Structure 1
Amino acid sequence: MGNSQSAARVVAPLSFLYDFSAQQYGMFSKPNMLDVHNRNLAAFSPYPYFIAGFFFPQQIFQLVWLWKLWKSDGTPQENETMGRFAWVYSLGNVCIGTWMFFWNSNDLKTSNVFVIINTVAQLAYISTQLPPLDTSSTPNVLTHIVSKTFAGIGVLDLLHNTSAAYYRNVPPSSLVQIATGLGFAAAAGVSDWIFGGCLVYDLVALSVGQEGSWGRLLGGYAALTAGIVGLRNWLYPRYKKSQNKSREGYARINPGEE
């Protein structure tokens, strides 16, 4: 495990630099990312500047997380958590960095392969490998933020690239519209504030990027998803806590009835 963590401390920053360099290429080359986006509009094309608005703060969190990973001055459990995620993180950076070259070449079907790999890897990690959130642990909190924002924007990337690669200028069918609402609602029902917030952001970006009734429906889905995330993470825990207190009070008053 020690050798693996030592390697991760080197590989993760290098993967960040690779992805960051590829993003600069994507922005300043001709055609650039936005040019390709505008040529391939589809039902899940977001408003492009929402992507930039997401990546800037996310990269700040990544840099802080990388600094903590490099220092490795946490507990053994914290270091192990960061080291384990570092490999998934590095895979994601390599995939998204490589995606850029195919996207800017307008080879969207090939670029979609890298999007699928990244999104599946990030979702698999946060759903099966990520330990519970511990707000008293900075490395744990940072790992939750970085991994869940990676997965959250990955959902948008997957919808966007797939629709642009295979369904350019094709309006969403009724089935697609219903499935979109059900899918995001189901995901929101099992999401915390971090990943759930990313899902809401995805839908807002899509709603602003689309027009007409589909754009308005996506906006409604964003509000619904936000409501479900809030219900699950704020209202329901408080209701459950109050119910537990009521049961404890009843048990103290009627100890013989237990």
Structure 2
Amino acid sequence: MGNQPSTVRYVAPASFLFDFAAQQYGIFSSPNMMDIHNGNIAAFSPQPYFIGGFFFPQQLFQLAWLWKLWKQDGSANECAMMNRFAWVYSLGNVCIGTWMFFWNANDLKTSNVFVIINTVAQVAYISTQLEPLDWKSTPNWLTHVVAKTFAGIGVLDLLHNTSAAYFKGVPASSLVQVATGVAFAGAAAASDWIFGGCLVYDLVALSCGQSGSWSRLLAGYAGAVGGIVALRNYF
């Protein structure tokens, strides 16, 4: 029942429009999302322009995927794949759109609830439910790109919002620094180049948003994670 294309063809685009409208509110309201970011700097605060730099091209892939979904353009298996992911995709858009209102209200603990739901849902889906990648199938690889970039930026969102909500102004301890490297390396070792590339991007964004030795360590982690992803997928 939940995978009927007649339903999901409307739900997914509607969720995209809701999220897009919420982002415009976040940008143009006062205080705006940048004001809240600047007032809650923490050890996992990224350089904020990296977020916009990620979402613009990612939204283009989303639009291409939504067009395929709307037209049900593909074989029965390809359409079933798109339809299944569309429910998690829609959940993510609703969560991130709702997150924006609490973020701009400077209620970061409540906004973090929606970040957790989204990130856990997206990472769990790509880890357990997503069909194997097939570059010969446009619906397939578009679904992979949208799903894995959603999950990849979700990791950054989770680190950012959690640190800002609960550890504002607290520097990363030695334990946190080591755990960060281990966690990203472990995730990279199990990732393809799409999700793995997102992990590298997350670390670069964090490095550029921090300063001093922590920034340099994050940059080193980005290089190491990039190497792990390359070794796993190309050699």
TM-score (norm 2): 0.99
Q: Residue 47 of structure 1: SS of its match in structure 2?
A: coil
Q: Which has the higher contact order (CA 8 A, sep 6+)?
A: 2
Q: Is the 8 A contact 2:3 2:84 kept in 1?
A: no
Shift of 1:6: 1.5
> Using the alignment, how far apart are the partners of 1:179 and 1:43 within structure 2?
13
- Which one has the largest radius of gyration? 1
Corresponding residue of 1:71 = 71
Q: Aligned pairs, how many?
A: 235
Q: Is the 8 A contact 2:3 2:80 kept in 1?
A: no
- In 2 relative to 1, CA 150–2 (structure 1 residues): closer, same or farther, beyond 3 Å? closer
Q: Residue 162 of structure 1: SS of its match in structure 2?
A: helix
Amino acid at match of 1:20: F
Amino acid at match of 2:92: G
> Using the alignment, how far apart are the partners of 1:127 and 1:7 within structure 2?
25
Q: Residue 4 of structure 2: SS of its match in structure 1?
A: helix
> Using the alignment, how far apart are the partners of 2:17 and 2:37 within structure 1?
24
> Using the alignment, how far apart are the partners of 1:27 and 1:221 within structure 2?
31
Amino acid at match of 2:96: I
Corresponding residue of 1:197 = 197
Corresponding residue of 2:222 = 222
Shift of 1:152: 0.1
> Which range moved further: 70-79 or 15-24?
70-79
> Using the alignment, how far apart are the partners of 1:36 and 1:3 within structure 2?
38
> Using the alignment, how far apart are the partners of 1:189 and 1:9 within structure 2?
35
Corresponding residue of 1:210 = 210
Stretches of structure 2 that go unaligned for 5 or more consecutive residues are: none
- Quote the RMSD (CA, aligned, Å): 0.8
Deviation per CA, 1:82-135, whole angstroms, max 9, x where unpaired? 000000000000000000000000000000000000000000100000000001
> Using the alignment, how far apart are the partners of 1:2 and 1:192 within structure 2?
29
> Using the alignment, how far apart are the partners of 2:229 and 2:177 within structure 1?
20
- In 2 relative to 1, CA 52–225 (structure 1 residues): closer, same or farther, beyond 3 Å? same
Shift of 1:2: 8.5
Alignment of 1:44-193 (within 5 A): 44-193=44-193
> Using the alignment, how far apart are the partners of 2:127 and 2:6 within structure 1?
25
- Using the aligned pairs only, state the percent identity: 77
Shift of 1:73: 2.3
> Using the alignment, how far apart are the partners of 1:181 and 1:48 within structure 2?
21
Shift of 1:3: 6.3
> Using the alignment, how far apart are the partners of 2:183 and 2:6 within structure 1?
39
Q: Residue 230 of structure 2: SS of its match in structure 1?
A: helix
Q: Residue 161 of structure 2: SS of its match in structure 1?
A: helix
- In 2 relative to 1, CA 199–3 (structure 1 residues): closer, same or farther, beyond 3 Å? closer
> Using the alignment, how far apart are the partners of 1:95 and 1:28 within structure 2?
20
2:13 is aligned with 1:13 = yes
Moved over 6 A (4+): none
Q: Is the 8 A contact 2:43 2:170 kept in 1?
A: yes
